Amino acid sequence: MPETYDIGLGNNNSHLRQEADSDFVSFWDSQARNLSWFSLWTKTLDWNPPFARWFVGGTLNASYNALDIHQASKSAKTAILWEGEDGQSRNITYGELFIQVQKFANVLKSLGVQRGDRVTIYLPMVPELPIAMLACARIGATHTVIFSGFSAASIRDRVSDSQSKVIVTADGGYRRGQIINLKSMVDDAIKSLDFVNHVIVLERAKNKISMTPKDKLWGQLMADVSDLCNAEELPSDHPLYILYTSGTTGKPKGVLHGTGGYLTHLYSTFKWAFDIKDSDIFFCTADIGWVTGHSYVVYAPLLCGATQVMYEGAPDFPDVSRMWQILQKYQVTIFYTTPTAIRLFMKFGAEIPNSFDLSYLRLLGTVGEPINPEVWRWYFKIIGKERCPIIDTWWQTETGGMLISPLPGLETVSLKPGSAGHPIPGINIGIVDENGNDVPANTKGYLVVKNPWPGMLLSLWDDDEKYKTTYWSKYDGCYYSGDYAMRDDDGYLWLLGRADDVLNVAGHRIGTAELESCIVSHPSVVESAACGIPDDVKGETIIIFAVLRQGILGGTKLEQELTDKIRTDIGAIATPKHIYFVPKLPKTRSGKIMRRLLKAIGTNEEIGDTSTLEDGSAVTQVQHAFDEVHRRTK
């Protein structure tokens, strides 16, 4: 008998599945009516492959749906329970959030921001981050949030690509007790970007910063504006945001999301997956700089009028009990985090969470990476006390919201540790082989989506061609996710990692091509290959092989220099575990780097078939370089 856990939370709405199966378009049509529209659509779906437009002719506003609609009944209800890393806390009601968003929308307008403009937001996890996003949405500006762990060079690339004229940042942000000077990062990033007219600076950490003529303080700007700003009536496909994510090329792609379809997807999945009730205290640990934060910290909880905890800092600061302290303090009922965080907690033992009162918890979730069955069981037993369903939610920046997940808000769930379960209603998932044919049960294949869905990306920012080739060219009419998966005999889906050259480090996407182009732009390096090797906590960690210019000798100094370069050009999240200097890289006869061999060496595994290698000695040389580093670092 397979290991399954049946848990019901008293919901019996599986009939939605039949409705969705019989006609997914009219199914989503009825879901979209849960939102507030200024005018209803004339066409539910305009599918001009690969471009989908949902609710054509309808007009709405994301900020209106997140705030205005709650004012009559919930203005005194807490929207955000904010916990600063330094121990400060703030309680922000729906009424207060409404005022702050309108004021900041007026600030943006006063600086010349108009409907259709892009605004870059580079802020730590403070309430002003959702305030700035909602203010953009209110006036029809497209926000582009950059994770505050990214470097100046990464900001420059993204600001240049999106052509943002206004940047919102802070003096500093707290990370593990340190203050990161975000403002100086922005100063460096925009040095040569003349089109940036204004930088709005929130005073969060009160660290010393230098002000330039472009800079304005958030507090001062907010003091001078009215607290009334009507929400713009926007078409359903109005671009709500651009979020940059790593792919298989050297530069991140600007994933572009719309409004009506995206919000419909979030509203529905938040209810079905999290079973959200008015009395719940929801806590998603994701940083808003990533898609999970956009969708399930900012938009979904606010659309549903939920109360949520927002935490500013690292999960293990000042120690690994921090999360449990927060859960206990705010009596959190729904907790959504990553397998990486759970593996970290697990490493420190059950005694720590067991010493906190977690009895309010009623539902647990994970996202971002495959969860190993033993980690799932620990989460289920130690944190959920075998009472709470675990929803393992599979989705991507591009999908906007969850596509595969158990749905305890809809039906009794039957959970298998390590499986994300079934697709959500209205989503047609396929597992196919290289030729696009469905693979039999228990066979690994590529995960594709066979129908358009409301949360799907509109396109890539300013690059429809790349949108087509990246997602829609491998299989005709199907969205290619870049993931491997398998369906078992019971129809459960098992996610088996990336099928492309994208790494998943602690649930964050990092492209090998981005790492490689960073390394080869160093004058000492001619060629490089990055790959991921398994890591007990982060799931995957980065190692890099680099071929140096003639006459240049590798060593720990150069390794440090290259590591620093990655931190400066991309950000600390891309820090490699090791850089190995090798005379050549193993390649096929057609010149393709054989990452499989590099990975096998990095994990001390069997090298396997090398018949397609162009030069067999490359493997021996890589192995030698690898052994040498490990002998030295032992």
Please choose, out of 152-160, 228-236, 477-485, 516-524, the segment that lies near ligand PRX by the rule CB under 6 A: 477-485
Cα 311 to Cα 332: distance, rounded to the nearest angstrom: 13
Residue 392 makes contact with ligand PRX by CB under 6 A? yes
The owner of tokens 């989460």 is 379
Minimum distance between the CB of residue 592 and ligand PRX, rounded to whole angstroms? 22
Phi-psi region of 497 (alpha: psi -120 to 50; beta: other; left: phi over 0): left
Burial profile 387-408: b = 16 or more Cβ within 10 angstroms, e = fewer: ebbbbbbbbbbbbbbbbbbbbb
Residues between 481 and 540 that touch ligand PRX (CB under 6 A) = 481-483, 495, 498, 504, 509
Contact 558, 578 (CB under 8 A): no
Please choose, out of 146-154, 171-179, 180-188, 388-396, the segment that lies near ligand PRX by the rule CB under 6 A: 388-396
Among 154, 396, 451, 541, binds ligand PRX (CB under 6 A): 396
Among 393, 470, 528, 563, binds ligand PRX (CB under 6 A): 393
Nearer to ligand PRX, 171 or 398 (CB): 398
Residue 367 makes contact with ligand PRX by CB under 6 A? yes
- Each residue 227-246 as x (binds ligand PRX by CB under 6 A) or -, in order, gives ------------------x-
C-alpha torsion 402→408→412→416, nearest 10? 60
Q: How far is CA 633 from CA 533, 537, 556, 621, 627, in A?
A: 18, 21, 10, 19, 10
Among 37, 94, 270, 395, binds ligand PRX (CB under 6 A): 395
Nearer to ligand PRX, 44 or 504 (CB): 504
Minimum distance between the CB of residue 577 and ligand PRX, rounded to whole angstroms? 20
Strand partners, 257: 241
Cα 408 to Cα 465: distance, rounded to the nearest angstrom: 39
Among 269, 397, 419, 512, binds ligand PRX (CB under 6 A): 397
**How many CA atoms lie within 13 Å of 11's alpha carbon, on the beta-carbon side?**
21
Among 130, 368, 417, 426, binds ligand PRX (CB under 6 A): 368
Nearer to ligand PRX, 61 or 337 (CB): 337
Cα 429 to Cα 451: distance, rounded to the nearest angstrom: 8
Kindly give, in sequence order, each residue whose CB lies less than 8 Å from that of residue 245, ignoring residues fewer than 6 positions away. Answer: 252, 253, 255, 291, 397, 398, 509
Nearer to ligand PRX, 410 or 485 (CB): 485
Minimum distance between the CB of residue 407 and ligand PRX, rounded to whole angstroms? 14
Residue 394 makes contact with ligand PRX by CB under 6 A? yes
Among 361, 420, 519, 546, binds ligand PRX (CB under 6 A): 420
Kindly give, in sequence order, each residue whose CB lies less than 8 Å from that of residue 134, ignoring residues fewer than 6 positions away. Answer: 62, 63, 66, 67, 97, 101, 298, 302
Cα 529 to Cα 593: distance, rounded to the nearest angstrom: 7
Residue 421 makes contact with ligand PRX by CB under 6 A? no
Nearest CA among 497, 507, 575, 518 for reference residue 542? 575
Among 130, 293, 370, 389, binds ligand PRX (CB under 6 A): 370
Nearest CA among 266, 233, 299, 241 for reference residue 59? 233
Nearer to ligand PRX, 106 or 396 (CB): 396
Residue 470 makes contact with ligand PRX by CB under 6 A? no
Nearer to ligand PRX, 480 or 545 (CB): 480
Minimum distance between the CB of residue 57 and ligand PRX, rounded to whole angstroms? 30
Number of residues that bind ligand PRX (CB under 6 A): 22
Residues between 254 and 313 that touch ligand PRX (CB under 6 A) = 290-292
Cα 48 to Cα 28: distance, rounded to the nearest angstrom: 18
Minimum distance between the CB of residue 222 and ligand PRX, rounded to whole angstroms? 32
Nearer to ligand PRX, 245 or 512 (CB): 245
Nearer to ligand PRX, 131 or 449 (CB): 449
Contact 119, 168 (CB under 8 A): yes
Nearer to ligand PRX, 144 or 481 (CB): 481
Residues in the chain: 634
Q: How many CB atoms lie within 10 A of CB 477?
A: 13
Residue 164 makes contact with ligand PRX by CB under 6 A? no
3-state helix, strand, coil in the chain (%, to 5): 30, 25, 40
Residue 127 makes contact with ligand PRX by CB under 6 A? no
Q: Which residues bind ligand PRX (CB under 6 A)?
A: 245, 290-292, 367-370, 392-397, 420, 481-483, 495, 498, 504, 509
